[in-house]
Amino acid sequence: MTDGTAHIHDHEHCIDTAIARARELCGAREVKLTPIREKVLEIVWRSHKPVGAYDVLDQLARTHKAARPPTVYRALDFLMAEGLIHKIESLNAYLGCGEAGHMHESQFLICRACGTAEEIVDDALDAALDAATKRSGFTVERKVVEIAGVCARCQTL
């Protein structure tokens, strides 16, 4: 926040909101948010740090003994296809989508000090990238913008 007040973050509320939004979107789209998919979504949202598939598997196996890598990858693929999570390509890890249900292009700020990642949606940046690729005659197949650096919190430590 820019007014100098402390920002209090209720992460359980974030998780509950993400799951409720996922249920709503999947219901409206008539796709099945199975208990495993929902649990994987919860695991991804548990941290502000991107989480790898095998970390998801380790956590999932605590409550679902039969969980195997294909189970996790299928759930992650489903969640990505429905726009509920993003893959951070440079880390080969996943992050919950704070803009689920809204068509958008995301950019990610990745802190090299604490490992957190923040999704940002900047229409002006997206438009500038579209214009630059168009000027170059380049056909975009997939667009992922990841910016590495140090977050504001780590800069003050």
Domain boundaries, the chain: 11-155
The predicted-structure confidence for 37-82, as pLDDT tens digits, reads as follows 999 999 999 987 999 999 999 999 999 998 999 999 999 999 999 9
107 sits in which H/E element: strand 107-111
Asked if pLDDT for residue 13 goes beyond 90, the answer is no
Confidence of residue 8 (pLDDT cuts 50, 70, 90): low
The predicted-structure confidence for 15-33, as pLDDT tens digits, reads as follows 999 999 999 999 999 999 9
Q: What are phi and psi of 145, to 5 degrees?
A: -115, 115
Contact 79, 44 (CB under 8 A): yes
Its CATH architecture, for the domain 11-155, is Orthogonal Bundle (1.10)
Contact 70, 108 (CB under 8 A): no
Give pLDDT, residue 9.
59
Asked if pLDDT for residue 1 goes beyond 60, the answer is no
Strands 107-111 and 85-88: unpaired
Confidence of residue 144 (pLDDT cuts 50, 70, 90): confident
> pTM of this prediction?
0.87
Q: Is 145 left (phi over 0), alpha (psi -120 to 50) or beta?
A: beta
Nearest Cα to 127, choosing from 145, 114, 153?
145
Lowest-confidence pick of 2-6, 34-38, 140-144: 2-6
Q: What are phi and psi of 73, to 5 degrees?
A: -65, -40
Determine how many CB atoms are found less than 10 A away from the CB of residue 38. 16
